[in-house]
Chains A and B, each alone.
Chain A
């Protein structure tokens, strides 16, 4: 009897402590808008983040969707869609890994401003001179079953008829494209040999907390032979070749 009574007291004390702590955390959370504190039940200073902000470029200019891009008279184009995965972010110093992002899958969509800023909470405290990431989704993730978040199949970046993520969706209009409405669609993907489309990108970076990650689409459009190839919808040799061109067109600059 005595023991049970004591246990009850201990339990109710623990409960009160828990409530008190929880309330405090909740109040503080409201004040500072510190997302995640309530979930984790522990206080943590909000520390700065390193932000990689994405920009799509064409001939040295930042471009937006639907914006007409003139190459020469009679040769203009516009982007309708630019969506792609960046994954497996790794930070390095003198070729040694200092930080690897966990669950590192980011779907960037030019239509969705929020998706274009990649925040790395751990990074500001570290010293690094290089970042590495993949354009697309690696083979291991491809065979690991369904996943959520940016990898959820409802994001429109997964082929239903033949398993595989669409690493890059690049759609638009080109005056030179001999298709209906002059529209082109490049859906680049494929994880099985010999059409593995995922590409590793390695870039040296300045020591700044705000960085611009730019993808220059000029080389891509220079390589497209509109009469021959204006649409890719499945894993293929061309899918790999175009993925390589894009992977080589990234650069990082201080903001």
Chain B
């Protein structure tokens, strides 16, 4: 009798929990990710929980806005059409939402690098009055009242208690899986596909004029640069200087990746350009760069043709990244 009850007790304390460890897949020649996976190992269940949270408006104060409201999978995980992204109650923010791509390699988050780690990134939109207008404390409280989340947190972490740490780690896990590495550019690198003459010419122009900041293969140097855009006095956004308080950082913004740029319009931190043509025209005109970019009209067209080879349809339409169906 004693043994039996002890058996029951044991089984009650060791409810079965298995997580399936996964490894991030990316091309071998890419640099090593900067994200420390040892502190937040990717698991099937963790990623799935992160995906549910990403698509759940429960994160916002009145449960109307989710991460995907401003980061749509079909548009490279950004908010198209709107120069400045809008959040709860149609409130408009001060910046253009960035794409969520290849985040395991990102060192800074937000246009000014205000956030220093992927884990912490979600705290900013959750708390921002023009985005979700909520707080992590309230989100945790709301999730604790939902039986389904208790189950999903248990599956992901072996413990059904919802905490801020687990919520942020799960979101990070899902976001880390958003790897884009199968564009025509990637297939060209691997010799599986050939560029047209125009694309090849555009690629050479890119390497000569753009690649020092938009470093291949991730198409960013993960740093902050001045790109010659004049200050929009209706926003007075000085970028990186807000964080470092250094005048040398005035009007510096994070260099975004160019992957899937065809779908991530409008462009720049304040979304001031709707077309890629306008972006290229800006760079060909500005005198604020270290080295003046000279481009003939036909070269501009070639450069844009190259940029379109950075579109990764497998990434844009990956069912694993879209709204969880069940």
Tell me whether B279 is interfacial, beta carbon within 8 Å: no
Task: Point out the residues of chain A lying under 8 angstroms from B135, CB to CB.
Answer: 160
Could you say which of A153, A164, A195 contacts B168, with CB atoms under 8 Å apart? A153
Contact A145 B123 (CB under 8 A): no
Task: Point out the residues of chain A lying under 8 angstroms from B39, CB to CB.
Answer: 144-145
Q: Which of A18-26, A52-60, A169-177 contacts B (4 or more CB under 8 A)?
A: A18-26
Tell me whether B118 is interfacial, beta carbon within 8 Å: yes
Task: Point out the residues of chain B lying under 8 angstroms from A154, CB to CB.
Answer: 136-137, 140, 163-164
Contact B6 A160 (CB under 8 A): no
Q: How far is the CA of A162 from the CA of B114 in the complex (A)?
A: 5
Contact B165 A163 (CB under 8 A): no
Tell me whether B204 is interfacial, beta carbon within 8 Å: no
Tell me whether B36 is interfacial, beta carbon within 8 Å: yes
Tell me whether B116 is interfacial, beta carbon within 8 Å: yes
> How does the 8 Å CB contact mask read for B1-29 relative to A, with 1 for contact and 0 for none?
01100110110010000000000000000
Q: How far is the CA of A219 from the CA of B9 in the complex (A)?
A: 56
Could you say which of A145, A148, A156 contacts B120, with CB atoms under 8 Å apart? A145
Tell me whether B243 is interfacial, beta carbon within 8 Å: yes
Interface centre among A38, A152, A164 (most CB of B within 10 A): A152
Known interface pairs A19-B3, A146-B169; A153-B244 also in contact (CB < 8 Å): no
Contact A160 B36 (CB under 8 A): no
Tell me whether A42 is interfacial, beta carbon within 8 Å: no
Q: How far is the CA of A142 from the CA of B119 in the complex (A)?
A: 11
Tell me whether B211 is interfacial, beta carbon within 8 Å: no
Chain A interface residue number, banded: 20 to 34
Contact A147 B165 (CB under 8 A): yes
Task: Point out the residues of chain B lying under 8 angstroms from A144, CB to CB.
Answer: 36, 39, 117
Chain B interface residue number, banded: 35 or more
Contact A23 B119 (CB under 8 A): no
- List CB contacts (< 8 Å) of B111-152 with chain A: 114-120, 123-124, 126-128, 135-137, 140
Chain A proximity of B206: nearest CB distance (Å):
32
Tell me whether B40 is interfacial, beta carbon within 8 Å: yes
Task: Point out the residues of chain B lying under 8 angstroms from A18, CB to CB.
Answer: 10
Known interface pairs A153-B120, A153-B123; A162-B243 also in contact (CB < 8 Å): yes
Of all chain A residues, which has the CB nearest B168?
A146
Contact B7 A163 (CB under 8 A): no
Task: Point out the residues of chain B lying under 8 angstroms from A26, CB to CB.
Answer: 6, 9
Task: Point out the residues of chain A lying under 8 angstroms from B165, CB to CB.
Answer: 146-148, 151-153
Task: Point out the residues of chain A lying under 8 angstroms from B2, CB to CB.
Answer: 23
A contacts, CB < 8 Å to B: 16, 18-20, 22-23, 26, 38, 142-148, 151-156, 158, 160-164, 192, 195
A-B contact pairs, 16 of them (CB 8 A): A22-B10, A26-B6, A145-B118, A145-B119, A145-B172, A146-B165, A146-B168, A148-B164, A148-B165, A151-B165, A160-B128, A160-B136, A163-B114, A163-B115, A163-B117, A192-B244
Beyond the given A143-B116, A163-B120, A192-B244, could you list 17 further A-B residue pairs with CB under 8 A, ordered by the A residue number? A20-B3, A22-B6, A22-B9, A23-B3, A23-B6, A148-B163, A153-B165, A160-B124, A160-B126, A160-B135, A160-B136, A162-B114, A162-B115, A162-B243, A163-B116, A163-B117, A164-B116
